[in-house]
Amino acid sequence: MPTSRPDDRAAPSTPEDVRARIDAGRVWLWENAAGEVVHLTGASLPSFGVSRIGPVYTPREHRGRGYASSTVAAVTARLLAQAERVCLFTDQANPISNRIYEALGFEPVTDMANLLIRRDVTTPAPV
């Protein structure tokens, strides 16, 4: 999901998690002719045969050039060739990424919401 920042809604990653993805070849960077990184796509290590694509990030100044579309398509093809099932999460409010992912063959399955319930620490917990 190309946004103005990497996907910070996913589960927090530790440096060890990131290193494991890199070591496993699950992070792809696209460099332009000047050696500048213009896109990043990651994929989780498979869990029960399913890998999740993400994060997908292109800096704002490099968007609209097909970096995300091409990379997500190539990564998806690679994972499918390894007999992995592939999923991704997208922002429903981002019609551009949704069109791109649907054009690549991804289909909407379900809508999800992340809710955080916090207890008011000024009120004593029920006994």
Map out the domains of the chain as residue ranges: 15-103
Residue 17 token pair: 């998690």
Domain 15-103 CATH assignment equals 3.40.50.720 = no
- The phi and psi torsions of 4 (rounded to 5 degrees) equal -80, -10
CA 111/CA 127 separation, integer angstroms: 36
**pLDDT tens sequence across 59-95:** 999 999 999 999 999 999 999 999 899 999 998 888 9
Please count the other Cβ atoms lying within 10 Å of the Cβ belonging to residue 13.
Answer: 13
**Model-level pTM greater than 0.85?**
no
**pLDDT tens sequence across 28-60:** 999 999 999 999 999 998 999 999 999 999 999
